[in-house]
Each structure stands twice: as structure tokens, then as C-alpha cells.
Amino acid sequence: MNKKAQRDQNMKKKVAFYTLGCKLNFSETSTIARGFQEDGFDRVDFSEHADMYVINTCSVTENADKRFKTIVKQAQKINPEAFVAAIGCYAQLKPEELAAVDGVDLVLGATEKFKIGDYINDLTKNDFGEVHSCEIEEADFYVGSYAIGDRTRAFLKVQDGCDYKCTYCTIPLARGISRSDTLQNVLNNASEISAKGIKEIVLTGVNIGDYGKGEFGNKTHEHTFLDLVKALDRVEGIHRLRISSIEPNLLKNETIDFVSQSSSFVPHFHIPLQSGSDEILKLMRRRYMSALYTDRVNKIKETMPHACIGVDVIVGFPGETDEHFLETYHFLNELDISYLHVFTYSERDNTAAAEMDGVVSKQVRSKRSKMLRGLSVKKRRAFYESQLAKTHQVLFEGENKEGYIHGFTSNYVKVKSPWNPELVNTLHNVSLTEIDEDGLVRFDFEKSTTKV
């Protein structure tokens, strides 16, 4: 690099990003970051000195709210003069609250975050946090995005917003109505990702089973989630496609059957349950009862006995008695599932659940959460044991974790092996041999394995 180029490089503004929450947030952060880079910024790690720090917020849990202040302090500690911007769900729901946090210069809502460049000038700090936040009814257009993680997988956003009115959830208030990317744009993004040598794509959205709705900027509906799955299966160069999370009432038999025969979709489903009690499901205003959930799990296991099934469940919802909780516990214990994501209910402003009677004490919520996390460990162990002595294809990841490389089988068994950089972002056939002390699985390479 010559001296002028070096000088130009040194003069470049630096921007850093911190993302709270879901895979969807990560995909949007990546797209926004690429926009900054196109505008001449250098992207650096959040732990490094930067001229601007952008925090993509989440509103799903109380903890995510609290962490925001801590992250702002981290940025200020590194560079007290840095310009700090807040975007994302919490920024849409409580913009004034975020703007009042010491050190915050700019807060952008659901539609404004994608035009962040229009709201920054010379990055001089403001005396008070400046707010640009639309009415959520205005969040009716779609912005496509994808995130590339550790060079082995990408999160591809296909849908945004939600028309469901679950009584505990702020997402419709934070992200607006359900709307989708056009099928062609999804396929173009998938091809772009594939061209970068990424081996796995994870489909993300708020309610991806609702895909198709709003793809033309209105409620006209040409494509369905099944159409999307079939079209993506034909994209050249994608080795693996994974469905991140799909509502049980939107996971149709045709989709399950197609995945079972697919060349690239993997046998892994993550299906929110939230409660095993029909009474609580009604209070939550979910769109199914427990019998339908059982039917979905049974259908998957009949078609793909080796499939991994993850479950979201909420404990401590208002009105959840000990009997309701035990109903959920026994329901999950008897179900052929592979692991749980356990969420402790927390009150969110402007939701119907926050006004409900039958508040469960924090102590009881914590106890129930601990019980279900213990059940999850048991379920994951049983699933891993069922896969021992079987041959699977593993995609190896890019991080050296205490001398080991990790990877995932197509059906989401996490494996480990002594660190070998040559394995990063390659696919190999392996035979699973034993479960290690840390719960991860050891393996032997198959002699016929081919590096991809």
C-alpha cells in the first residue's frame, strides 16, 4: 500500500455494531453494515475504537432491555467521543426511553433503520438523543437482508412482521404487519450467498410460515412457504438449507414431505409450542391446541425418524398454575423432541398478558424454568445417543474453541474434534462414536469421506 492509500485508510471513519436478539436482527445488522462499508466506512469489532457504534436492540425479554445500557457504557468506555445510534425493536417500541440513556445520540425506528445514512452528518455527538420513529402502521414495506456468520452459514431473511396477536408478544408492535420478500429476490440473495462459498443458509423471519403474504406490497398472495422451499431447493451451489423456526399451524404435511425428499433442506425443525396446556394456549391466543402440535411432531418422525425437533416454551405465563405447568412438563417429556429453548415470561408494556390476573411469582417462574432446562438436557442427550454409530455429514465451523473445532450434522448434532484449520467450512461424512463429558459428540471420519 502506498503512502497516499495508507493515509486515506487512516482517515476512514470506523463503525462497529452490536446485535441483541434473534437471527433476523443479525441478518439486518449485516445488511446495514454493508451499506456503511459501501459509503466508505471501515467496519471494526465492537471491542475496538470506532467513530460510531450502532446497537441493534431487541424487545423480547426484560434482560435484552437492561443489557442496552451496559452496551452503551462499553462503547463510551472505549471512545467517549463516539456517536452512538440505537436501532431495532426496542428502539421502535420505546424510542424516548433509549434516547434518554446517557451517551445515546440517535434512535431510529422500524423503517428508519435501513436509511441510517440519511440521519448522520459529521458524527458530532448530540446534547440529547435524537429520535426518528414512525408509527408502526407505516412499516408496510419490505427490506431484504442476509448475514454471513463465521464463513460457514448465512442467515437469510425472507419475511418480516406478524399478523398474529399473541397476548405476550410485542413483535407486531415493533415490526408491523406480515410481509415478504419477492421470491426472485430471495433466490438472488441465496445465489449471492452461495457464490461466497457459504455452505449453509438458515431461513429467518418473524413468522416464516406466513411467507408470500405482502410480497407485492399488499395482501395479494402469489407464493406460499412451500413454493419458497421448492424454489430454493433448486438454487445451484447451496449444500444445506435450514428452516429456523416455523409455527406448528403453518407447517404443512406437504412441506414436511418435501423436506424429507430434498437434496438440500436438512431434517431439523424448530417449532414454537409455548405451553403444553390448552387452557394456557387459549390465554396466549395461540392458533393451535396441543393435539395439533403432537400431530406435527409425529408426522415429522414418521417421515424422518432421525430428524431433530427443537421447541420454544414459555414458563410463568399469567394464570399458569402448578397443574398447568406439570401438564406442559409431562407433555414435553412424552413427546419425541430433541431440545428446548426455555423462556421465562416477562411482562411487556402494551400487551394483553401484562394486564392479566394470576401473576406467577418470579421465584416460581425461575423454578419452572430450571425444571424445563433440565428436561432439555435429558432430551438432547437421548437424541444424541440415538444417533451414535450412525453416519452423518458434518459442516465444520471456523472458530478454535480451546483447541477444538466444532461442527453440526445435518440433523443438528454438535460434534467436536481437535482443532484443524483445514476442516473449516468443509463437509465430511463421519460416524458418531461417543458423547464427551461436555455433552458434545466425538466421531471417526468415514474412509470414503469427500471434502466439499
> Is pLDDT above 70 for 82?
yes
Give the tens place of pLDDT for each residue, 2-30: 444 443 444 689 999 999 888 888 899 99
State the pLDDT at residue 447: 74
Length of the chain: 452
> Is pLDDT above 50 for 1?
no
Q: Angle at Cα 317 formed by Cα 314 and Cα 318, nearest 5°?
A: 175
What is the mean pLDDT of the segment spanning 364-393?
A: 98
What is the mean pLDDT of the segment spanning 173-202?
A: 92
Give the tens place of pLDDT for each residue, 416-431: 999 999 999 999 999 9
Give the tens place of pLDDT for each residue, 85-107: 999 998 899 889 999 999 999 99
Q: Percent of the chain at pLDDT above 70?
A: 92
> Is pLDDT above 80 for 276?
yes
Question: HEC profile for the chain?
Answer: CCHHHHHHHHHCCEEEEEECCCHHHHHHHHHHHHHHHHCCCEEECCCCCCCEEEEEECCCCHHHHHHHHHHHHHHHHHCCCCEEEEEEHHHHHCHHHHHCCCCCCEEECCCHHHHHHHHCCCCCCCCCCEEECCCHHHCCCCCCCEEECCCCEEEEECEECCCCCCCCCCHHHHHCCCEECCHHHHHHHHHHHHHCCCCEEEEECCCHHHCCCCCCCCCCCCCCHHHHHHHHCCCCCCCEEEECCCCHHHCCHHHHHHHHHCCCECCEEEEEEECCCHHHHHHHCCCCCHHHHHHHHHHHHHHCCCCEEEEEEEECCCCCCHHHHHHHHHHHHHCCCCEEEEEECCCCCCCHHHHCCCCCCHHHHHHHHHHHHHHHHHHHHHHHHHHCCCEEEEEECCCCECCEEEEEECCCCEEEEECCHHHCCCEEEEEEEEECCCCCEEEEECCCCCCC
State the pLDDT at residue 25: 87
State the pLDDT at residue 19: 92
- From 212-216, 299-303, 334-338, the region with the lowest mean pLDDT: 212-216
What is the mean pLDDT of the segment spanning 31-54?
A: 94
State the pLDDT at residue 134: 65
The C-alpha cell at 196 is 461466497
State the pLDDT at residue 2: 47
- The mean predicted confidence, pLDDT, of the chain is 91
State the pLDDT at residue 151: 64
State the pLDDT at residue 6: 43
State the pLDDT at residue 287: 97
